Structure 1
Amino acid sequence: MSCFFPVAESPQNHQSLFYANDLSQYSVLCDFDGTISEKDVTDTLLNHFGNEKCALLEQQWQEGIIGSRECMHQQIANIQASKAELDSVLAQIKIDPAFSEFISFAQSRNLNVHIVSDGLDYAIQSILKRYNLNFLPVFANRLLHNQQQDWALDFPYANDRCLKASGNCKCQHRRKLTGFQKIFYVGDGTSDFCVADKVDMVFAKDKLIDFCQQQRIAYYPIKNFGDVTAILPELLKAPTENSCLIPA
């Protein structure tokens, strides 16, 4: 029987980052796959190293037969690759060119930034490290490896009451954020739906735009983090109650 071990660096204690202080009165939660990264990282790895069962599981998830946590758990178990092979694919995945500038802006304004992803912690850390951004706190599913060809997934941030049955319950992270004047969210897909109505403003791409329109959730449509950096200064000055729906 194979023994699996975490491949990501041990996470630092992020608990204090959830609380506002004299310098940090605003918080930004950011999705990763398709939001910070240009490609969906998990889909890219499955395309390279998965098998035909991965596509069947994806179909079952889209049809609502299984939740995203169960889907990813089984998909990752069907990957066959060495760590070196996995790393070679991760090395080709780029992030939004405007994200580094956004982080510089966030630091200059003492914004509290967290990455909350239903993706893979090691993959996110590996990609961010290439851009010297691996100091950012990452909350994601834990990727495990048996030091051969097999992979597994652990879910340290799962919530049995999660409406989306996600591996990483983003609403749970939102609830931990206390004392902030405003909380913003940047995302693009279905894993962002349940948290979208629990923040002061959403910066939305792709599927998240349609969802916000349908649910009449306050949002700004964006193409990249350059738009976030351009819009945020005014929102930091404006009272929360003046937030309004911005149609695409």
Structure 2
Amino acid sequence: MSGCFPAAGLRCLSRGGGGMAAQGAPRFLLTFDFDETIVDENSDDWIERAAPGQRLPEGLRATYREGFYNEFMQRVFQYLGEQGVRPRDLRAVYEAIPLSPGMGDLLQFVARQGACFEVILISDANTFGVESSLRAAGHLGLFRRIFSNPAAPDARGLLALRPFHAQHGCARCPSNMCKHKVLGDYLRERARDGVHFERLFYVGDGSNDFCPAGLLASGDVAFPRRGYPMHRLIQEAQKAEPGSFRATVVPWETAHDIRQHLQQVLKAS
């Protein structure tokens, strides 16, 4: 039986601590993406269901520019508001997005481990949608922090979206968010709090999840969704420069694959 179960009353080791951490201190940081990871759809595509005819006008679609998706979604929310779509309507749409297969079971499993896992979410979607979806599914309380593009009703009562980062220096990531920077800043923040994780786990699917996975060291685990851009980029990096990607790679098709690996980690620890 793993010492991570809260009923066992055992302490969790901290990363690099060389001894016992305080009672209840997290051993592992578990980071999730949202779109096509926690939920089985892209929430920005799913929100089109709130538009008249459940489809955006072609003229609006044509304004999208590569690397500036957040700006495009700002225009989408403005258009929806002009069509009479209110935040309560959008909330109902977000609440209907299905979880990825096995994800509900995985999140319940993690919650049962008590303080062993500290869980955060980094998403290029928006806070309103992510929180609405997780709250409806009963999992919002699991996440210590949610990092996403801020979205909230404005003075007119319409949903307004802003970028997470005003600027960053990463050429790989979209202009509004670099997940590598988000994760790195969070790890430094927790280190100042005296929290040093024994291992990092990152669950994602997209190309923007490859960048933060570069922070993972030997002994950490990347969980890319099998066949999705994050998985392909890791494979390309491993082929181009063997050993350059230091973390263990565990592709997943359903969240049961992730749970199974985490169970093995806990049993071995």
Same fold (TM over 0.5): yes
2:30 is paired with a residue of what secondary structure? strand
Within the candidate set 198, 208, 211, 1:194 is matched to: 211
> Which residue of 1 is the match for residue 170 of structure 2?
162
Within the candidate set 134, 148, 151, 1:140 is matched to: 148
CA distance in 2, matches of 1:26, 1:214: 27
Instruction: Check whether the contact 1:29–1:185 (CA below 8 A) recurs between aligned residues.
Output: yes
Instruction: Check whether the contact 1:117–1:140 (CA below 8 A) recurs between aligned residues.
Output: yes
1:49-198 matches, within 5 Å, as 49=51, 50-58=56-64, 60-61=65-66, 66-80=67-81, 81-109=85-113, 110-135=116-141, 136=143, 137-146=145-154, 150-163=158-171, 164-175=173-184, 176-177=186-187, 178=191, 179-198=196-215
Greater shift in the superposed pair: 20-29 or 141-150: 141-150
Matched to 2:182, the amino acid is: H
1:186 is paired with a residue of what secondary structure? strand
Give the TM-score, by structure 2 length.
Answer: 0.70
> Which residue of 1 is the match for residue 241 of structure 2?
none
Within the candidate set 258, 263, 266, 1:228 is matched to: 258
Q: How many Å apart are 1:131 and its aligned residue?
A: 1.8
> Which residue of 2 is the match for residue 32 of structure 1?
34
> Which residue of 2 is the match for residue 213 of structure 1?
235
Runs of 4+ off more than 6 Å:
none
1:35 is paired with a residue of what secondary structure? coil
* Higher strand fraction (1 or 2): 1
CA distance in 2, matches of 1:167, 1:47: 25
Give the TM-score, by structure 1 length.
Answer: 0.75
| RMSD across aligned positions (CA) | 2.7
1:131/1:47 Cα in 2 relative to 1: closer, same or farther (>3 Å)?
closer
Instruction: Check whether the contact 2:32–2:121 (CA below 8 A) recurs between aligned residues.
Output: yes
1:185 is paired with a residue of what secondary structure? strand
Indicate the percent of aligned positions where both proteins have the same amino acid: 23
Gaps of 5+ in 2: 1-13, 16-20, 239-244
Instruction: Check whether the contact 1:82–1:147 (CA below 8 A) recurs between aligned residues.
Output: no
Count of aligned pairs between the two proteins: 216
Instruction: Check whether the contact 2:168–2:178 (CA below 8 A) recurs between aligned residues.
Output: no
Gaps of 5+ in 1: 1-18, 240-248
User: What's the CA shift string for 1:42-91, capped at 9, x where partnerless?
Assistant: 11114643433442244x21xxxx43444444444443322232123223
Matched to 1:102, the amino acid is: L
